Structure 1
């Protein structure tokens, strides 16, 4: 298994992510800080991600992310929405939100996925409670094409972060 950082370091043009879960690792320190009312600390705890993403973007990599979400949103999605300006947007990532009811007629992969340069995908596997389990990647052309087209369809339908209200 290749680590995400290695895949991003090799990426030259685009890194796109589709996210599908309404809850991830609720024991994460950033989430716990936000839950305790400390947004600034939550953002600070993700500064490593912000720096990693910014480094790729400065190299010329376009980073975009679509979060497919149920409405009304879960507490975890409210957290992600709150930290997005200080974490993702601050790095230069473009973030859009796709209400799940608007995605019903889209063919989407079964797991969260990163698509790197339309040549490699990394699937992210989580347990039912949102705990991270594993990643796996493939450069199988059919799988990459499916994930790339799924991302494009979701991106076109999704709402920019600035316009999405929770």
Structure 2
């Protein structure tokens, strides 16, 4: 693959908000170990979390998403999850209230269903953002859920395949209502 390069965390942040029309994320991990979420996740597990807007990085994410949506842009995710969901996946579902409020569309697909429709194992085990159906940012994680690398990919064949996986995932996924999510 010649049209790819590793990008820094700062470049990742900039690129993630540098799109004209659409941003789509496919999430495949059972859990993520993100430093800025650690205290909030621990509080969630105890049953007494503060709103995620108290976390500066999440507050900034929601603000940026809201700006994009006001500009007419679309931000969407499909989360492929276990059934029943892991503790972290329950935490993600709880966070959805704020993601949806900011303007993101949050969709879900069980891991079993992802296998039935051929999304898995074909799509691999790497999360990614697809920006304007033209650029792909692959997010690689270690076995514990730490992000270890981000890679920008512009190879047309790889991007087209990601577009097909996105369409398959969106077609077979569901939106969850807030009553489907318990803290």
Confirm or deny a common fold (TM above 0.5): yes
C-alpha change, 1:9 and 1:42, in structure 2 (3 Å) is closer
1:160 aligns with 2:175: yes
Supply the distance in 1 between the matched residues of 2:16 and 2:34 (Cα, whole angstroms).
25
Q: Deviations over 1:49-102 (max 9, x none)?
A: 11121122222210000000111110000111111102x101100000100111
C-alpha change, 1:131 and 1:81, in structure 2 (3 Å) is same
Match of 1:30 in 2: 40
Aligned residues of 1:33 and 1:41 also touching (Cα < 8 A):
no
Aligned residues of 1:31 and 1:42 also touching (Cα < 8 A):
no
Any stretches of 5+ residues in structure 1 without a counterpart?
none
C-alpha change, 1:19 and 1:115, in structure 2 (3 Å) is same
Per the normalisation by structure 2, the TM-score is 0.82
Greater alpha carbon shift after TM alignment, 30-39 vs 48-57: 30-39
Per the normalisation by structure 1, the TM-score is 0.90
Q: Deviations over 1:17-59 (max 9, x none)?
A: 0000111117523212322323333343221211121122222
Supply the distance in 2 between the matched residues of 1:109 and 1:13 (Cα, whole angstroms).
26
Any stretches of 5+ residues in structure 2 without a counterpart?
1-6
The secondary structure found in structure 1 opposite 2:79 is strand
1:99 aligns with 2:110: yes
The secondary structure found in structure 1 opposite 2:148 is strand
Structure 1 segments of 4 or more deviating over 6 A? none
Supply the distance in 2 between the matched residues of 1:163 and 1:37 (Cα, whole angstroms).
17
- Equivalent residues in 2 for 1:30-69 (5 A)? 30-45=40-55, 46-69=58-81
CA RMSD across the alignment: 1.9
